[in-house]
């Protein structure tokens, strides 16, 4: 049985963060959840508030945080285009200043730290599927750059702290992840399609619908993060975490219509600027070093996610789906 640790999760009240807090508490750890609630929600962690091993702090990672911890999972940053483009300067600050502040904390208390990076560091890739040694093809001045380049800079900072200060780091590049607790208004394709289908509204597909994505169910992704944190110090990453099963947007839309029993029709709209045409992780490194691979197929994961959104819709805690 592993020793209980004091663990900080930034962005801990968000979609991914709340599941990570749950997992760490279930393993017997003390968890500090730090979140500024820009995209996170107290509702996501309300069921954890009575757990004496759980503490929640309203905090913005662009400011220093002083706590005593053994490990840090740095998940704080809006991850959907709707939210990160609403305040692009703050998005960049969250990635860059947030990384500096959390790395500084890790250095002070000698904690191991994991950065939740993103497949967006690959941009609109010319290599398919994407391996960790691919440097990417990113527009540095486009509307998505605040997120893409912010995350790339954060990776740079992590590896500079590793080289310069011998900090124990882990970097995970997270591919499209879905599941319960996604925000209905976050503009991501899975939540958009499900909300539109449940409301029998036209499902918005951008471009021709032939662009592809790979979708990982949230519990599989969290298992990958925890496994990465548990590896030996020589495993720094970056490590791709995602489900390599690839689907076109049209395939996803039709599957959502089928699973919801919706009468929705598909409506085509222009493709957003710098939207990647293909996105698929090569997870051979994660499979070898973490002994990890996703277990939940898209159909099964969508069924759980649809059930969640049906509950949210019936409770009235929902706003119209935004643009993808």
Please say whether the beta carbons of 73 and 106 come within 8 A. Answer: no
pLDDT of residue 118: 94
Q: How far apart are CA 141 and CA 257, in angstroms?
A: 36
Q: Which pLDDT score is estimated for 277?
A: 82
Half-sphere exposure of 232 (CA within 13 A, CB side): 2
Which residue's structure tokens are 């969640």?
308
Give first-to-last CA distance, the chain, whole Å. Answer: 44
In the chain, the percentage of residues whose pLDDT exceeds 70 is: 97
Residues in the chain where the model's pLDDT stays below 50: 320-324
Q: Is the dihedral of CA 73, 76, 82, 87 positive or negative?
A: negative
Exposed/middle/buried for 117, CB within 10 Å: 0-12, 13-18, 19+?
Answer: buried
Catalogue the active-site residues.
147
The whole-angstrom distance between residue 200's C-alpha and the CA centroid of its chain comes to 28
**What is the structure's pLDDT at 21?**
98
> CA geometry: angle at 140 spanning 138 and 144, to 5°?
75
CA–CA distance, 297 with 278 (Å, rounded to integer) = 19
Who's near 26: CB < 8 A, 6+ residues apart?
Answer: none
What radius of gyration do the chain's Cα atoms show?
19
3-state secondary structure the chain: CCCCCEEEEECCCCHHHHHHHHHHHHCCCEEEEEECCCCCCHHHHHHHCCCCCEEEEECCCCCCCCCCCCEEEECCCCCCHHHHCCCHHHHHHHHHHHHHHHHHHHHHHCCEEEEEEEHHHHECCCCCCECCCCCCECCCCCCCHHHHHHHHHHHHHHHHHHHHHCCCEEEEEECCEECCCCCCCCCCHHHHHHHHHHCCCCEEEECCCCCEEECEEHHHHHHHHHHHHCCCCCCCCCEEECCCCEEEHHHHHHHHHHHHCCCCCEEEECCCCCCCCCCCECCHHHHHHCCCCCCCCHHHHHHHHHHHHHHHHHHCCCCCCCCC
pLDDT given at position 318? 58
């Amino acid at each position: 049985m592993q020793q209980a640790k004091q663990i900080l999760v930034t962005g801990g009240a968000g979609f991914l963060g709340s599941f990570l807090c749950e997992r760490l508490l279930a393993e017997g750890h003390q968890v500090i959840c730090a979140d500024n609630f820009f995209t996170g929600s107290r509702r996501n962690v309300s069921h954890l508030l009575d757990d004496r091993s759980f503490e929640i702090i309203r905090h913005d990672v662009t400011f220093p945080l002083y706590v005593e911890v053994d490990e840090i999972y740095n998940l704080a940053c809006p991850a959907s285009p709707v939210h990160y483009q609403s305040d692009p300067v703050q998005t960049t600050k969250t990635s860059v200043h947030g990384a500096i502040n959390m790395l500084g904390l890790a250095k002070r208390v000698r904690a191991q730290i994991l950065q939740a990076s993103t497949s967006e560091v690959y941009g609109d890739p010319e290599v398919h599927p994407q391996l960790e040694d691919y440097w990417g093809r990113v527009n540095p001045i486009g509307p998505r750059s605040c997120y893409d380049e912010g995350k790339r800079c954060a990776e740079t900072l992590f590896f500079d702290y590793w080289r310069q200060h011998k900090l124990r780091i882990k970097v995970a590049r997270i591919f499209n992840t879905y599941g319960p607790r996604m925000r209905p208004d976050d503009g991501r394709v899975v939540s958009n399609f499900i909300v539109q289908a449940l409301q029998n509204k036209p499902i918005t597909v951008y471009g021709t619908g032939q662009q592809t994505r790979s979708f990982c169910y949230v519990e599989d992704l969290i298992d990958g993060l925890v496994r990465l944190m548990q590896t030996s110090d020589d495993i720094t990453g970056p490590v791709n975490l995602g489900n390599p099963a690839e689907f076109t947007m049209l395939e996803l839309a039709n599957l959502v219509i089928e699973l919801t029993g919706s009468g929705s029709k598909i409506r085509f709209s222009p493709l957003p600027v710098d939207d990647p045409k293909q996105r698929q992780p090569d997870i051979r490194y994660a499979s070898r070093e973490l002994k990890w691979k996703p277990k939940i197929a898209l159909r099964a994961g969508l069924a759980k996610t649809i059930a969640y959104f049906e509950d949210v819709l019936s409770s009235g805690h929902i706003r119209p789906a935004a643009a993808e």
